[in-house]
């Protein structure tokens, strides 16, 4: 059997990590007045999704119209 290799260097001794902070804070409470009001139907999640879908559809139509126009111009040459 072979002998274990003795290295001349010692391993690096790192300092222990700093202790976590002991400061404790109360969680932030959101008042009901700051949330969406129940009367406004426009601010509901469903309307936000509908408006996003309409915006995506209009953007897609604009891009496709631009592609068709560029193809029309380039095909005339």
The pLDDT of residue 59 is 98
Whether residue 52 is predicted with pLDDT greater than 70 in this model: the reply is: yes
d(CA 67, CA 73): 10
Q: What pLDDT does residue 1 have?
A: 59
**Mean pLDDT along residues 32-61:** 80
Contact 53, 47 (CB under 8 A): no
Contact 5, 12 (CB under 8 A): no
Q: What is the reported pLDDT for 33?
A: 55
Compute CA distances 49 → 21, 36, 41, whole Å: 42, 16, 13
Q: Answer for the pair 13, 5: CB distance below 8 angstroms, yes or no.
A: no
What's the average model confidence in pLDDT over 41-48?
80
Residue 45, helix vs strand vs coil = helix
- pLDDT tens digits for 5-38? 766 666 766 777 777 777 777 777 766 555 555 5
- Per the CB < 8 A criterion, the answer to whether 36 and 44 are in contact is yes
């Amino acid at each position: 059997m072979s002998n274990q290799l003795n290295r001349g260097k010692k391993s690096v001794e790192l300092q222990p990590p700093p202790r976590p902070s002991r400061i404790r804070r109360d969680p932030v409470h959101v008042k009901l007045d700051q949330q969406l009001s129940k009367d406004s139907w426009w601010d509901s999640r469903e309307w936000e999704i509908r408006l996003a879908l309409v915006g995506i559809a209009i953007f897609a139509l604009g891009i496709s119209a631009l592609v068709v126009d560029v193809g029309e111009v380039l095909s005339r040459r």
